[in-house]
Amino acid sequence: MFDIQRAALHDGPGIRTVVFLKGCFLRCEWCHNPESWDPEPQTTVQPDSSGECHTFGREMKVEEVMRIVLRDRAYYDLSGGGLTLSGGEPTFQFEFCRALLAAAREAGIHTCLDTSGHNSREAFAELLPLVDLFLFDYKITNSQAHLRWTGAGNELILANLDFLYRSGAQIVLRCPILPGINDNQEHFKAIAALSKKYPRLRGIELLPYHDTGRYKFASLGMDASLLPVSVPGEEEQSKYRQELASLGVHLLFPA
């Protein structure tokens, strides 16, 4: 586990506690959480402003995490919030992920799984009864480009999306928009096609690129990629929304 954020407002409905687990199957070049990649604890090589190096990651038991999660139950009840598992890819540590979701379910806490969708169908089938809402990433339409930018094609991800939808899962599709990589008509049309193919989606969420990951790559001594990506301003973001709206896409949380 490399972070626990309480009172989070952007990773699922209501007020939530977000638990970030280490480990990920993908290597997205724009990743803003590269401290998640190594499943083991990882210490920065550059001190922060206080002159200290920081270690990302520590082992915790499910009960320890749940003690923190349960502190905010009153806020969940008031706001329709709950627990969100994120990462990294939270299903990378499958046993822990399943055990934490089960503990939250047992305690009557609403659960969200923020996932890249890149794991086996069996893994998602097992988690399905424990997840109230999937926050499911849809990154790049062309599988070759997906491979180029994330380290894997998108066939497995799309198959898992289809499986979860047809199994009755509640899903919000989360679409990171990366200027020069996927801010194109092919991708927007594919998002529109998915929203028509899966009309019961709870929503489509745009996640405009931000570059907070860059300093993390450097501080961890990892190679920061020279992404041909600029942070989209308000004007560009508005253009994304307009283009998608013209294609009939309903946005749940317009950025």
33 binds ligand SF4 (CB under 6 A): yes
Of 227 and 247, nearer to ligand SF4 (C-beta) is 227
Q: How far, in Å, CA of 180 to CA of 145, rounded?
A: 12
Contact between 6 and ligand SF4 (CB under 6 A)? no
Candidate residues 88, 90, 208, 232; the one interacting with ligand SF4 per rule CB under 6 A? 88
Binding segment for ligand SF4 among 20-28, 67-75, 152-160, 229-237 (CB under 6 A)?
20-28
Residue 70 CB, nearest approach to ligand SF4 (Å): 26
Among positions 26, 103, 127, 204, the unique one binding ligand SF4 when judged by CB under 6 A: 26
Q: If binding is defined by CB under 6 A, does position 24 make contact with ligand SF4?
A: yes
Give the number of residues in contact with ligand SF4, rule: CB under 6 A: 12
Q: Does 220 bind ligand SF4 (CB under 6 A)?
A: no
Residue 82 near residue 18 (C-beta atoms within 8 A): no
208 touching ligand SF4, by CB under 6 A: no
Which part of the chain contacts ligand SF4 (CB under 6 A), choosing from 22-30, 44-52, 70-78, 187-195? 22-30
Give residues in contact with ligand SF4 (CB under 6 A): 24, 26-28, 31, 33, 36, 87-89, 116, 150
